[in-house]
Amino acid sequence: MATVTDSSISRATIHEDTVVPACKPWSARIKKGDMLRLVDLEGRQAVDFLCYNAAHPAERYNAANTLKLNKNIYLGKGSTLWSVRARKMMTIVEDTCGSHDTLYGCCSIEVDEVRFGKTNTQSCQSNFETELAKHGLGEKDIAANINFFMYVPVETDGAVAIAEGLSKPGDYVDLRAEMDLLVVISNCPERDNLAAGYEPTPIRAIVYSPG
């Protein structure tokens, strides 16, 4: 274990500190009470996110419950991630960006062919499938996900679209685990819309116990 040098968590104990390369997936098991910090190193980089009850992965993040129980389509400091069983999974305890997306889900090779007429070789859907396979899970376990650092404004007529990201280099979210969890992310590889500013970049994932 190592002590975090960042002044805001300087007394914490790090369990993992990983720079996730552009376009790649990552996962970790996080104990109840521990924290996950996601850092947008260069800004405007969407991080597609899912989480599962570590002991019973059928209980997973549920977008509809999260919207209903937070009474908001955006996530920020103080928001709770709720499960399909209406149990608290994670709480956002710090957030330097705000307005994280709960609506747009993940990109896929198939949907990009429909949207952009392109046959891409990588997507958040395929990243999730690859990473979940390491934990004995698969395509059927992928639910509508959170997109941290991605901005999807909703117009008065209900129109939605991915807009230019709001996050600046170094912006982060801190999430506290409210149960033992498996978390899985796809550092979005999308190059055909503003989810990653047309040029995907690395992010940083830190798992730590508060000091």
Asked if residue 75 lies in contact with residue 61, where contact means CB atoms within 8 angstroms, the answer is no
| Residue 132 pLDDT greater than 90, yes or no | yes
Q: Give the neighbor-by-neighbor strand order of the sheet with 146-148.
A: 25-30, 181-187, 47-53, 146-148, 100-101, 74-75
Asked if residue 183 lies in contact with residue 49, where contact means CB atoms within 8 angstroms, the answer is yes
- Boundaries of every domain in the chain: 19-209
CA 195/CA 77 separation, integer angstroms: 21
pLDDT tens-digit readout, 71-94: 999 999 999 999 999 999 999 999
Asked if residue 82 lies in contact with residue 69, where contact means CB atoms within 8 angstroms, the answer is yes
| Residue 6 pLDDT greater than 90, yes or no | no
CA 14/CA 113 separation, integer angstroms: 41
List, in order, residues 6 or more apart from 87 with CB less than 8 Å away.
59, 178, 179
For residue 125, what are the CA distances in angstroms to 129, 131, 176? 6, 10, 25
Q: Residue 140: exposed, middle, or buried by beta-carbon count in 10 A (0-12, 13-18, 19+)?
A: exposed
pLDDT tens-digit readout, 91-109: 999 999 999 999 999 999 9
